[in-house]
Structure 1
């Protein structure tokens, strides 16, 4: 993913990591606000299930030009009936990621 990122030894801006984390998905992927009784049953069962807080895997920290950090996180996503799944790579503000102390211990 970062094959073309020039690494600086004096002022590093990229740190590759591998760590389980919790991801606050409520801000980058907010709920639609639709009433569940108005959504067709096949959509509710086969659509992508996004919870407000989900487990993920932190793969990198990348420093922005304004000095803040972005967490690069992979999250495994499932359909509500768990028959379908995909992995999403999310680029999130540092505040939307927290350590998963239970898994990393």
Structure 2
């Protein structure tokens, strides 16, 4: 992912790491506001289940040009019926992640 990112010893902006973190998905991906009892069963069963908190793996800290930081986090999620899975990389502000114990 960072193959083309220029790393400077004098002004470091990228720090690679690998650690488990909890992602506060309730803050990152707020609920739709639609009541579940108003949805068709196939949507509830086959749609992506977004838990309030997901376990992920942080792979980097990246310094933003405004001085802030972004956590680069890989997460996986599944449909409610477990038949579909997806993995993605999220770019998150530090306040929505919490270190998780190694398993």
Q: TM-score range by the shorter chain?
A: over 0.9
Find out whether 1:46 has 2:46 as its counterpart.
yes
Count of aligned positions = 103
| Partner residue in 2 for 1:32 | 32
1:77 CA displacement: 0.8
Q: Which residue of 2 aligns with 1:87?
A: 87
2:74 alignment counterpart = 74
Aligned-pair distance for 1:51? Answer: 1.1
Structure 1 residue runs of 4+, over 2 Å off?
none
Gaps of 5+ in 1: none
- Report what 1:96 is aligned to: 96
| 1:28, distance to aligned residue in structure 2 (A) | 2.1
CA distance in 2, matches of 1:46, 1:6: 42
TM normalised by structure 2 equals: 0.95
CA RMSD, 1 decimal:
1.0
Q: TM-score under structure 1 normalisation?
A: 0.94
Unaligned runs of 5+ in 2: none
Q: Partner residue of 2:7? A: 7
Q: Show CA shifts across 1:5-45 (max 9, x none).
A: 11010111001111111001112211101011101101101
